[in-house]
Amino acid sequence: MAGAGGGGCPAGGNDLQWCFSQVKGAVDEDVAEADVISTVEFSHSGDLLATGDKGGRVVIFQREQENKSRPHSRGEYNVYSTFQSHEPEFDYLKSLEIEEKINKIRWLPQQSAAHFLLSTNDKTIKLWKISERDKRAEGYNLKDEDGRLRDPFRITALRVPILKPMDLMVEASPRRIFANAHTYHINSISVNSDHETYLSADDLRINLWHLEITDRSFNIVDIKPANMEELTEVITAAEFHPHQCNVLVYSSSKGTIRLCDMRSSALCDRHSKFFEEPEDPSSRSFFSEIISSVSDVKFSHSGRYMMTRDYLSVKVWDLNMESRPVETHQVHEYLRSKLCSLYENDCIFDKFECCWNGSDSAIMTGSYNNFFRMFDRTTWRDVTLEASRENSKPRASLKPRRVCAGGKRKKDEVSVDSLDFSKKILHTAWHPAENIIAVAATNNLYIFQDKAN
Amino acid sequence: MAGVAGPGTGQGAAGGDGDDSLYPIAVLIDELRNEDVQLRLNSIKKLSTIALALGVERTRTELLPFLTDTIYDEDEVLLALAEQLGNFTGLVGGPDFAHCLLPPLESLATVEETVVRDKAVESLRQISQEHTPVALEAHFVPLVKRLASGDWFTSRTSACGLFSVCYPRASHAVKAEIRQHFRSLCSDDTPMVRRAAASKLGEFAKVLELDSVKSEIVPLFTNLASDEQDSVRLLAVEACVSIAQLLSEDDLEALVMPTLRQAAEDKSWRVRYMVADKFSELQKAVGPKITLNDLIPAFQNLLKDCEAEVRAAAAHKVKELCENLPMEGRETIIMNQILPYIKELVSDTNQHVKSALASVIMGLSTILGKGNTIEHLLPLFLAQLKDECPEVRLNIISNLDCVNEVIGIRQLSQSLLPAIVELAEDAKWRVRLAIIEYMPLLAGQLGVEFFDEKLNSLCMAWLVDHVHAIREAATHNLMKLVQKFGKEWAQNTIVPKVLVMANDPNYLHRMTTLFCINALSEACGQEITTKQMLPVVLKMARDQVANVRFNVAKSLQKIGPILDTDALQEEVKPVLQKLGQDEDVDVKYFAQEAISVLALA
């Protein structure tokens, strides 16, 4: 439907002109596995940006205040807080290693001067508080300011400590640990619009938690068959509706999406809507099922649409139409002829995520060779951009890239065979209100923004 | 100790040259900032000691400002602080200075942790009572307003709990402002605040003038009850109980019932669940007439709700609902409007629903009387006694006493026995444990003959169960039975069987004999203990298993006080002395312990 592969639209067809802003992370060629970024998420205001990595760390960047001396600079993101969220563990009963890799981060709506986020690895979800401290108590009775002890017999008056200003200190403290509720690997967490509950989904089950209660969760979806040999599909992602507290969706490895209404019953085993696009029998192949597996599902901010990503395309669904998506955008159609080799190098199982812009008018998702794609939903134009250090001068425009699917390669085009499949962009995030995007390329985090001002 | 130090003694409290007395206080103050949370917590818990030593003035000018900014600490420290400050009025100089406690409590009322906020609000409510009306308007009301219009939801939720304490004592103008603030919190943007407001709506309604309740609270209630968030709507059901109590029947019908009817049919099962869960309170609040016209039909719907959680909650309320119906016409209403639905629930597909019903259904027999019970309820009881789910059967059996009073247990005994036997042999040991616990009750109701004939063998079988908890419970059960049926019965039926086990090849069974003797000796008395039990115990002192031998020592210690001096000196003492020389350390230890406890040394 949409201009496949960007062939039809002029270079830089996207109305926005994106330019480089910042890059975070080491420049080294050999990347430490622990430094690979595994999730990226803006806070609800967009002032904070969190990343999680395979080493179990969470890094939070804060947007600097507007700089008066450089009125055109809209504030860069600088490190605000870094903490170790998860540690590697070992399950002795099952003889299983539990990786520390952060699978997902979700911010809670800001409720006080402090910020809260949920982070999860395969098994355990943690609620973190990130708060600032700018005062320090001074004055002891039993010792001097320099720490020397005083003679206890010479204490003639009591001193009450007084608070003095000090350099700002940012603290991250674990507030709750939600453990032991998942037998399989957690792939999603999502906070409910009631701001008191959230869901966590693994391959076969979805649990509902209260944010203040750690010793109890309710299982709301369970697709585990009585006999595991009959297992034909797994849950790949799940999310709550942004406004309707009773609605959640989950996607499956069979390419379908189920919408559940928590109002109708306590167990959501029976979906109330079932989104599935009929398969085209002519294109059926050995890989059909694998590439139709949904790797991510995201509601639009308005709550009217949802977007799903499968291996080759990204689809937008109207919640009121279950029979087919209202939009299908090809992400890298030129790979359809390469599925065999992508299967052999396991790339076909990569889980690409997708995201909406703040007004739901554009969507973004990743590809290989450090390329990422943007689709404008109103103009139907799309663009391929590259996250690379080559053109990383501040405010340098990003040049649209094109992949040559076959035939004669034009100037400026990249041949499919020269794509680097080890450089994949799986995680991206779009600022909730502005045209600022964060793109995770292996161990580097790129921040781009539009050139408008 | 609070309140002793009046304003005049302020500075003097820590004075004098008694350095020794200052040292512990100095330590306490320094430990307010110790690295170790436990030490900080201990110090906070002794805050009144620190304040007493500082005197009221320094407490007000130095300690409280410091505490006001100490909100970075661990939750448990803040919680303790919030609690302490509620009782601090005396330590800051009495009611005239109670307002000095507001700043620290205000900052605690805005922290993210709910338990801390709730405790701070509780303390603020306590302190509000100590304010004079003037101070209340000068200090407390402004605080409430500040919280109610705070930037973060945490402060606004805390404000919700404070309106009702300052409203009754405020002047007319201030009252209007307070109501205005409450109104705006009820339509706050964040669901957390609306939830807090909804949960305090009933409490606030109670302190308002009736006119304001009708003109202001009812519209708020109606709005909250149709909120888009399920979690807000369900709290409105709770508020309904309090509001209904305040209104006349006519007002109730016009102002509240439409909303309540709507809640009972809400799309969200959680809201319907709340209606079911609060049903008895609602019933009492709306009075008999509305109950008959509205609540009974609503209850019927809840009993056949599509969500099992709702049916279970409603089933739990069946007995209370029936009990609270007006005496006149009660039987007819139950028979015609409730019982048909109960009959359906007996064969519900969900075991939680059935077991909820089973836990209360027996209570209906006293309400309905003998005739109805035999004709209508008995078939249901019998069906439930045969239910596939052990929980249902257990719940019926555990409530047998209700029926016993009305129709006697004999009516049931034919079905009871197979049900008991099946539970007694259930594969899950917790089920077996549960039925054992009801044995004394059953025995009492079924009588000794029936028991000997049908149940005695079960009780003995449990003694050799392979799970220790069951053997232990079985032992305890025997003691209860002996207390019920008397020594003679014990001597004839229980004791011989217990003693035979002393020769069992399995040492665990031999130990069970000892445990039974421990339990039974007191109920059986001196004669049986000395003549029948003691010889067996003494013989077992030669057992080849050490565990048995040291249990012999423990048993002797236990039954020693029941025996007479002759038996103790001539029979028990030599055996214990021999065990005191045993090669096993544990045996030696317990033998020596017994010797000293029984004073046989």
- % of chain A beyond a pLDDT of 90: 69
Distance (Å) from the C-alpha of residue B557 to the closest C-alpha of chain A? 43
How, if at all, do strands A413-415 and A402-404 pair?
parallel
Residues B530-561 have pLDDT tens digits of 988 999 999 999 899 999 999 999 999 989 88
Chain B contact present for A131, CB below 8 A? yes
What is the spatial distance between Cα B465 and Cα B471, in angstroms, rounded to a whole number? 6
Report CB contact under 8 Å: A160, B29. yes
pTM of the model: 0.84
Residues A400-445 have pLDDT tens digits of 999 987 777 777 888 888 899 999 999 999 999 999 999 999 999 9
> Which residues does chain B have within 8 Å of residue A131's beta carbon, measured at their own beta carbons?
72
| DSSP 8-state code for residue B355 | H
For residue B2, CA distances in Å to A72, A135, B28, B91, B100 come to 61, 31, 18, 5, 15
Q: Nearest residue on chain A to B65, judged by CA atoms?
A: A162
Distance (Å) from the C-alpha of residue B352 to the closest C-alpha of chain A? 13
Closest CB from B30, B54, B152 relative to A140: B30
Chain B contact present for A133, CB below 8 A? yes
Residues B141-175 have pLDDT tens digits of 999 999 999 999 999 999 999 999 999 999 999 99
Scanning A136-165 for CB atoms below 8 A from B yields 137, 140-143, 152-163
Q: Nearest residue on chain B to A212, judged by CA atoms?
A: B114
> Token pair for residue A47?
């002032």
Closest CB from A112, A246, A262 relative to B110: A112
Closest CB from A157, A175, A196 relative to B231: A196
**Rounded mean pLDDT, A317-335:** 95
Mean pLDDT score across all residues of chain A: 90
Report CB contact under 8 Å: A111, B228. no
Closest CB from A131, A158, A175 relative to B14: A158
| DSSP 8-state code for residue A398 | P
For residue B505, CA distances in Å to A215, A435, B545 come to 45, 83, 11
Residue showing tokens 């019908």 = B253
Domains of chain B: 446-600 (1.25.10.10)
Chain B contact present for A45, CB below 8 A? no
* Best A130, A140, A141 residue to mutate vs chain B (most B CBs within 10 Å): A141
Residue showing tokens 């991510």 = A296
Could you tell me the pLDDT band of residue A70, with boundaries at 50, 70 and 90? low
> Token pair for residue B262?
């709507």
> Token pair for residue B574?
């030599």
Distance (Å) from the C-alpha of residue A83 to the closest C-alpha of chain B? 18
> Which residues does chain B have within 8 Å of residue A172's beta carbon, measured at their own beta carbons?
none
Instruction: Dump the DSSP string for B200-254.
Output: HHHHHHHHS-HHHIIIIIHHHHHHHTT-SSHHHHHHHHHHHHHHHHHS-HHHIII
> Does the pLDDT value for residue A327 go beyond 60?
yes
Distance (Å) from the C-alpha of residue B108 to the closest C-alpha of chain A? 13
* Best A44, A160, A164, A241 residue to mutate vs chain B (most B CBs within 10 Å): A160
What is the spatial distance between Cα A354 and Cα A369, in angstroms, rounded to a whole number? 17
Chain B contact present for A213, CB below 8 A? no
- Tallying the residues shown for chain B, one arrives at 601
Q: Domain A18-450 belongs to what topology?
A: Methylamine Dehydrogenase; Chain H (2.130.10)
Asked if residue A277 lies in contact with residue A324, where contact means CB atoms within 8 angstroms, the answer is: yes
| DSSP 8-state code for residue B34 | -
Asked if residue A17 lies in contact with residue A450, where contact means CB atoms within 8 angstroms, the answer is: yes
Mean pLDDT score across all residues of chain B: 90
| Exposure class string for A223-245: b at 16+ Cβ within 10 A, else e | beeeeeeeeebbbbbbbbbbebb
Scanning A252-311 for CB atoms below 8 A from B yields 262-266
Residues B83-115 have pLDDT tens digits of 999 999 999 999 999 999 999 999 999 999 999
Asked if residue B300 lies in contact with residue B344, where contact means CB atoms within 8 angstroms, the answer is: no
Closest CB from A111, A129, A193 relative to B152: A111
What is the spatial distance between Cα A331 and Cα A6, in angstroms, rounded to a whole number? 9
Closest CB from A159, A243, A263 relative to B230: A263
Give, in degrees to the nearest 5, the angle at Cα B128 between B127 and B129: 90
Q: Nearest residue on chain B to A210, judged by CA atoms?
A: B231
* Best B20, B110, B229 residue to mutate vs chain A (most A CBs within 10 Å): B229
> Which residues does chain A have within 8 Å of residue B190's beta carbon, measured at their own beta carbons?
109, 111, 195
Residues A92-103 have pLDDT tens digits of 888 989 999 999
Residues A103-136 have pLDDT tens digits of 999 999 988 889 999 999 999 999 999 999 888 8
**Rounded mean pLDDT, B454-469:** 88
Report CB contact under 8 Å: B307, A265. yes
Residue type, A337: S
Distance separating the N- and C-terminal Cα atoms of chain A: 33
A–B: how many Cβ contacts below 8 A? Answer: 116
What contacts 24+ positions apart, CB below 8 Å, involve B247-254? B247/B213, B247/B214, B249/B287, B249/B289, B249/B290, B251/B214, B252/B286, B252/B287, B252/B290, B253/B290
Asked if residue B588 lies in contact with residue B582, where contact means CB atoms within 8 angstroms, the answer is: yes
What is the spatial distance between Cα B518 and Cα B541, in angstroms, rounded to a whole number? 15
Confidence (pLDDT) at A72: 53
* Best A138, A145, A194, A211 residue to mutate vs chain B (most B CBs within 10 Å): A194
| DSSP 8-state code for residue A33 | G
Q: How many CB atoms lie within 10 A of CB B188?
A: 18
> Does the pLDDT value for residue A2 go beyond 60?
no
Report CB contact under 8 Å: B153, A111. yes
Asked if residue A247 lies in contact with residue B230, where contact means CB atoms within 8 angstroms, the answer is: no
Report CB contact under 8 Å: B192, A111. yes
Confidence (pLDDT) at B69: 83
Confidence (pLDDT) at B1: 39
Q: Nearest residue on chain A to B15, judged by CA atoms?
A: A157
* Best A133, A195, A214, A269 residue to mutate vs chain B (most B CBs within 10 Å): A195
> Which residues does chain B have within 8 Å of residue A218's beta carbon, measured at their own beta carbons?
none
